[in-house]
Amino acid sequence: MPVPTDGTTPGWTAVGRLPLDDQLLALEEALSRNDTLVEVLDRAAELAAPDWYLTAGCLFQTVWNVVTDRPPTHGIRDYDLFYFDPTDLSWAAEDRIIQAGAALFADLPASVEIRNEARVHLWYEEKFGVPCPPHTSVESAVDSFAATTCCLAVRQEPDGRWRFYAPHGLSDVFNLVLRPNPTLAPEAVYRNKAERWHRLWPELTVLPWPAT
């Protein structure tokens, strides 16, 4: 393993400069320190939700916590479990998965938020003020996050192997750099998230939204 196992900061901050294969090994080691995250991954397959991934804050914030030597769950609001099922876009179908997840994860010390990303375009504009083209996969939904640093997802395969999706790499995640991703989410969404996260992780370098 290319990083120290005692939690010391210097080795973790150097991960972003390692070859990608080593970064992936370090990512799995960092995420494994969050027991809640590991338990969600272990159980998620029981939902039988198609093309699912655990994604967003619970992942990159776990890494931030490990790098800065904080408790692994510091600042994590919830655990986002995305799946993709375009065969039934009704709220009733999505709610069945949500309710099954509520029972499955009920004993965990955190909220697991489950969403069918095939339905996002039905409610996104009302919530955020801009239209959202229909996603074609969970990966395309992850691509639209407000910061490239957030574009990270993982699922556990039937053989126990962790499968990662990280379209912008991992260097910013390990280097605590928050970089905007002006593809869908409005600037205000990025600013609000950045302000809250910087309060919780003051070591973050927050890059500005690009000028138009």
Q: Which of 91-105, 121-135, 136-150 has the lowest mean pLDDT?
A: 121-135
Residue 208 lies in a domain: no
Residue 205 lies in a domain: no
Q: Which of 16-30, 123-137, 144-158 has the lowest mean pLDDT?
A: 16-30
pLDDT for residue 144 is more than 90: yes
Residue 57 lies in a domain: yes
DSSP labels for 47-86?
Answer: G--TT-EEETHHHHHHHHHHHTT--TTTT--EEEEEE--T
Nearest by Cα to 42 from 109, 104, 98: 104
Residue 114 lies in a domain: yes
- Whether residue 178 contacts residue 169, with contact meaning beta carbons closer than 8 Å, is answered with no
pLDDT for residue 6 is more than 60: no
Residue 209 lies in a domain: no
CA–CA distance, 117 with 69 (Å, rounded to integer):
33
Residue 154: domain span: 9-200
Count up the domains in the chain and report the number: 1
Nearest by Cα to 135 from 192, 78, 100, 89: 89
Q: Look up the pTM and report it.
A: 0.91
Residue 206 lies in a domain: no
- Whether residue 40 contacts residue 54, with contact meaning beta carbons closer than 8 Å, is answered with yes
Residue 1 lies in a domain: no
Mean confidence (pLDDT) of the chain: 92
Residue 99 lies in a domain: yes
Name the residue with higher pLDDT: 18 or 73: 73
Helix/strand/coil percent split, the chain, to 5:
45, 15, 40
